Structure 1
Amino acid sequence: MPEGDTVWQAARRLHDALAGHRLVRSDLRVPRLATAGLGGRTVLEVTPRGKHLLARLEGGLTLHSHLRMDGSWQVYRSGERWRGGPAHQIRAVLSTAGHCAVGYRLPVLELLRTRDEARAVGHLGPDLLGEDWDAREALRRLLADPARPLGAALLDQRNLAGVGNVFMAELCFLAGSTPWRPVGEVAAPERLVADARRLLEANRDRPDRTTTTTTAVTVPVTVTAARAPAPARAPAPGGRRGERLYVYGRAGRPCLRCGTPVRSAMAQHDGRGRERPVYWCPRCQSGPVGGR
Structure 2
Amino acid sequence: MENLDLCISNYTYEDILDLFKFDNNFDEEDLKKAKKYVLMTHPDKSGLDKEYFFFFSSAYRLVYKIYLFRNRTKEDTCVDRKYTANEVDEELENEDVWKKLAKHNDFNTIFNKLFEKHKQNSNEEDGYRDWLKQDQDVEVAKSKDDMERIIFEKKSNLRQLVVHQSVGDMISSGGTSITGNVSTYQSGVFSDGLQYDDVKRAYTESVVPVTQEDYTSRKQYSSIDEYTRSRKETLQEALETADHSSRLKEQKYAEDADNISRAYDLAKADEETRRQRIEIASTLLKITNGT
- TM-score normalised by length of structure 1: 0.21
> Which gives a bigger RCO, structure 1 or 2 (Cα 8 Å, sep 6+)?
2
Please state which structure has a larger fraction of its residues in strand. Answer: 1
Please state which structure has a larger fraction of its residues in helix. Answer: 2
- TM-score normalised by length of structure 2: 0.21
